[in-house]
């Protein structure tokens, strides 16, 4: 809203300073400050509000002999409200709300935040197990369908490709542009903005892959039916990352800190992909309008950092499903928007390992129970407890050490992910 207001004032009245809002870096920096302050100022008020309504989660302290109430620490939950407030308010103020990618990200935040809130609310006020798993999956599937359809149908979702690509793959051309190249000889090349299902593939020269290639047997109709491939794939990505973030939210500060690291990397990738000069220099896909996503990622990053103010060990509040389901979904949609979804296994490897630990534990336990009996299966588990961060707790590591080391791993993974821009 402020972006649109100051753009108008700059255009119509040439108001001194109003032109600053045209700069992404200025708005992203301002978004960080506003988002962090919102989390800091309103966080304590929200914690008190939740406490007065007795929305308290009882979590067993590992290592204590039994699981009665005396051995449980009681901490307010539904702290995801803080994260959502710190994301949405500065984003609505500073982002270009006409941008289709910003609209998708706001929708993702609200949709999955609502699903997570309902789940937490039912757990804490109705004495139930929360929202049935199938309803969570339905929300994630619906979000995946919406994102996939917008990415496939909107004329504002385009990438820039050469004339050879257009002729080879019969892309639907939205616009043309002359791009200047500076080398030993300065020259211009005609490029096309096209609607396409193309994405980036890391570590390979000419690192583009078109989902339509899977349907190459359809000939010239492959592009028209590419949605048959990538919409189910988007649904899988959003569901997987959302649930993985939910599993990771098991130690004070782990999910929020890991998400902040991932968000920072995605913000940098979004800025590069949406900057024609940098995209040309790095020889990656130029995706118009994705630079604006940097403002959202700034809000996302600062919201996670602001929430950590109250969530680091010992936590004053948990994010609950209100936060974790939304964080995972936002990360997945961000990666899809900037066409880096194939980097998720690398960038989100902490989430991936947490999920795999549960899958491995469950699968091996069921197999051993069937083959050798229940007693053998219980005594011979792969991990002491899953998700894997609980395994390290059982081994005697302090929560703060586990979280710090997971963050360090996350930072290293983020650096490698950014390096893939040139590693081919």
Q: List, as one string, the DSSP characters of 59-80.
A: EE-TTSS--SGGGEEEEE--TH
The whole domain housing 259 covers: 23-158+196-419
Question: Which residue reads 């600053």 in tokens?
Answer: 20
Structure confidence at residue 73 (pLDDT): 66
CA angle in degrees (0–180, nearest 5) for 179-180-181: 120
CB-based contacts of 94: which residues, under 8 Å, 6+ apart?
A: 2, 3, 21, 27, 30, 31, 34, 295, 299
Residue 389 placed within a domain: yes
Region label for 331, one of left (φ > 0), alpha (ψ between -120 and 50) or beta (otherwise)? alpha
CB-based contacts of 194: which residues, under 8 Å, 6+ apart?
A: 158, 159, 160, 161, 165, 166, 171, 172, 173, 174
Region label for 419, one of left (φ > 0), alpha (ψ between -120 and 50) or beta (otherwise)? alpha
The answer to whether the CB of 181 falls within 8 A of the CB of 187 is: yes
Residue 371 placed within a domain: yes
Residue 215 placed within a domain: yes
Structure confidence at residue 387 (pLDDT): 94
Structure confidence at residue 180 (pLDDT): 65
How far apart CA 282 and CA 331 sit, in angstroms, is: 23
Tokens of 16: 């001194």
The answer to whether the CB of 207 falls within 8 A of the CB of 200 is: yes
Tokens of 422: 């040139």
The number of folded domains in the chain is 1
Residue 188 placed within a domain: no
Sign of torsion over alpha carbons 69, 74, 80, 81: positive
CB-based contacts of 128: which residues, under 8 Å, 6+ apart?
A: 122
How far apart CA 161 and CA 138 sit, in angstroms, is: 35
Report the interhelical angle of 293-311 vs 100-125 (nearest 10°): 30
287 burial level (CB within 10 Å; 0-12, 13-18, 19+):
buried
Q: Tell me the backbone φ, ψ of residue 215, rounded to 5 degrees.
A: -105, 30
How far apart CA 130 and CA 92 sit, in angstroms, is: 31
Give the pairing of strands 172-181 and 198-200. Answer: unpaired
Structure confidence at residue 65 (pLDDT): 43
Residue 186 placed within a domain: no
Structure confidence at residue 183 (pLDDT): 56
How far apart CA 286 and CA 272 sit, in angstroms, is: 8
Residue 180 placed within a domain: no
CA distances to 187, 280, 364 from 181, in Å: 5, 8, 56
Structure confidence at residue 68 (pLDDT): 45
The answer to whether the CB of 321 falls within 8 A of the CB of 119 is: yes
- % helix / strand / coil in the chain, to the nearest 5? 65, 10, 25
User: Please, what are the averages of pLDDT over each run of 10 residues along the chain (424 residues)?
Assistant: 80 81 91 96 92 71 47 79 96 94 96 94 80 91 96 89 75 76 60 86 78 83 86 95 94 95 96 89 87 95 96 91 95 96 95 96 94 92 94 94 96 95 78
Question: Which residue reads 């390290």 in tokens?
Answer: 392
Instruction: Select from 259, 337, 252 the least CA-distant residue to 86.
Output: 259
Residue 189 placed within a domain: no
Q: Tell me the backbone φ, ψ of residue 230, rounded to 5 degrees.
A: -85, -25
Structure confidence at residue 373 (pLDDT): 93
Instruction: Select from 253, 239, 243, 237 the least CA-distant residue to 389.
Output: 253
Instruction: Select from 317, 277, 273, 307 the least CA-distant residue to 292.
Output: 273
Residue 165 placed within a domain: no
């Amino acid at each position: 809203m402020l972006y649109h207001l100051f753009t108008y004032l700059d255009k119509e009245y040439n108001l001194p300073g109003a032109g600053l809002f045209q700069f992404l870096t200025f708005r992203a920096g301002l978004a960080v400050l506003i988002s962090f302050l919102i989390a800091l100022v309103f966080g304590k008020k929200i914690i008190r509000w939740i406490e007065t309504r007795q929305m308290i989660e009882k979590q067993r302290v590992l290592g204590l002999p039994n699981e009665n109430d005396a051995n449980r620490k009681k901490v307010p939950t539904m702290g995801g409200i803080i994260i959502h407030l710190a994301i949405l308010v500065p984003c609505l103020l500073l982002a270009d709300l006409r941008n289709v990618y910003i609209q998708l990200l706001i929708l993702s935040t609200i949709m999955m935040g609502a699903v997570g809130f309902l789940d937490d609310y039912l757990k804490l006020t109705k004495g139930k197990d929360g929202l049935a798993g199938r309803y969570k999956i339905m929300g994630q599937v619906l979000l995946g369908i919406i994102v996939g359809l917008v990415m496939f149908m909107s004329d504002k979702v385009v990438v820039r490709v050469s004339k050879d690509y257009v002729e080879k793959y019969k892309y639907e051309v939205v616009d043309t542009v002359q791009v200047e190249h500076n080398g030993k000889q300065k020259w211009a090349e005609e490029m096309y903005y096209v609607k396409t299902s193309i994405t980036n593939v890391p570590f390979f020269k000419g690192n583009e892959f078109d989902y339509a290639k899977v349907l190459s047997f359809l000939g010239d109709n492959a592009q028209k039916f590419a949605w048959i491939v990538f919409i189910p794939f988007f649904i899988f990505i959003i569901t997987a990352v959302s649930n993985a973030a939910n599993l990771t939210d098991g130690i004070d500060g782990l999910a929020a800190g890991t998400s902040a690291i991932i968000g920072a990397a995605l913000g940098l990738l979004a800025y590069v992909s949406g900057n024609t000069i940098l995209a040309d220099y790095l020889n990656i896909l130029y995706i118009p309008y994705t630079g604006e996503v940097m403002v959202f990622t700034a809000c996302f990053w600062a919201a996670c950092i602001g929430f950590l103010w109250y969530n680091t060990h010992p936590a004053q509040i948990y994010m609950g499903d209100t936060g974790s389901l939304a964080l995972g979904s936002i990360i997945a949609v961000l990666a899809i928007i900037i066409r880096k979804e194939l980097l998720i296994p690398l960038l989100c490897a902490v989430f991936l390992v947490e999920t795999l630990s549960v899958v491995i534990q469950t699968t091996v336990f069921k197999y051993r129970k069937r083959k050798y009996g229940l007693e053998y299966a219980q005594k011979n588990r792969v991990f002491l407890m899953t998700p894997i961060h609980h395994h390290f707790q059982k081994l005697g590591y302090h929560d703060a050490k586990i979280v710090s080391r997971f963050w360090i791993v996350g930072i290293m993974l983020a650096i490698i992910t950014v390096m893939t821009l040139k590693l081919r």
